[in-house]
Structure formats: C-alpha cells, structure tokens
Amino acid sequence: MANPGGITNASEESPEALALISTLKMIPHIEGGYFVETDRSIETMPNPYPHDEGKDLTRSLSTLIYYLLTPYTPIGRFHRNKSRTIHVLHKGRATYVLIHPDGTVETYVAGHDVANGERLQWIVEGGDYKASFVYPEDGECLISEVVIPGFEYTDHNFMANRTELVQLVGEKVAQEWDWLLRK
C-alpha cells in the first residue's frame, strides 16, 4: 500500500479543514489528526480493566468524539484501546487497517460508496490495533467514535515498535504496514 503521508510538510490546512477544526473546536490528537470529545456519560460502571488496586475504579458508560484526518495530517498511527469503539462516517473517505490479536489483518475503506463495499459504520473491538489514513485527493475525513465503556488514556496504547508488528503479522506483512507505526 502506498504511503499517502508525503505531504505532511505543508505549511497549513485547507480552508475547509480549518473551518471544521475551528467550528468543532478540535485539537491535535496524539494518534494523528484532530479530535474533540463531545460527550462523556455521567453514568459510570466498575472499571473492567483495573490497573492499580484502589485506583481507577470506574469508567464512564460511554464517550463520544469527532475525529478528523486531513491531507496535512493524513495518518492515525497504529494503536489499540481496551474498549469497543463504534465509528460513524460523516464526511470524506479513509482507509482503515486493523490487526486482530491473532495476527490477521483487515483493511477497508470508510466512505459513502456503499455499493462498492465502502463502510458508513464500523466497529473495532477492544484489543484490535487500528490505523487509518487519507489520500490527498480524498480531502478530509470526519468521523465520530463512540467508546464503550468510555475512553481513558490508561486503556490506550500505541504499537510499541516494528518488532511488535513483526511478531503479530510476520516480516512480509510488516513491511507493507510499518509506515503506520508511531515514529
């Protein structure tokens, strides 16, 4: 797969992207792109992923964000969450790459051409690594993500390095996707 990230040296976002970022009050995301949390349930549940005894005892039932990739910030790097994430496309197109815990790789396009297999909604189960990217000709890709139970950074991690990628998928497949690792 070709790396669409060659234009990341651009000096500024397009007017369309700037309008979305400003209107939605988005900030840069550590994975790449931009985001804003728009809802965090005030209802909580016991933390199903306890880290330290006596700390971090609850999770919000759900959280909701907008997430935006642009030709200037075209890549969401490989990461995983412990919680299930429901994605809903609003605008544009993006390619998604999932690596399941058993090492199988799944790719698909989030887009509006459903007759040709593009997806308007998709689910990433907790424990799956995901990465996403846009090609410059696709412009911006705006989605919503609902995380259940709610997102917390302590439940999130980036793929550690190329060695971890090779262990999951093998050398040949790793060569195809290692450009999606966090640098």
The whole-number mean pLDDT for each consecutive block of 10 residues of the chain, a chain of 183 residues, reads 42 86 95 96 92 80 98 96 97 97 97 98 97 93 98 92 96 96 90
Q: What is the pLDDT of residue 53?
A: 67
Amino acid identity of residue 4, one-letter, is: P
How many other C-beta atoms can be found within 10 angstroms of the C-beta atom of residue 81? 22
pTM for the full predicted model: 0.90
Q: For the chain, list the domains and their CATH numbers.
A: 20-42+59-180 (2.60.120.10)
What lies within 8 Å, CB to CB, of 156 at 6+ separation is 79, 80, 81, 82
Q: What is the pLDDT of residue 54?
A: 66
Q: CA 100 to CA 125: how far, in whole Å? A: 9
φ, ψ at 138 (rounded to 5°): -85, -10
E strands, 92-154, in order: 94-99, 105-110, 121-124, 129-133, 141-148
CA R_g for the chain: 17
| Residue 153 burial (C-beta neighbours within 10 Å; 0-12, 13-18, 19+) | exposed
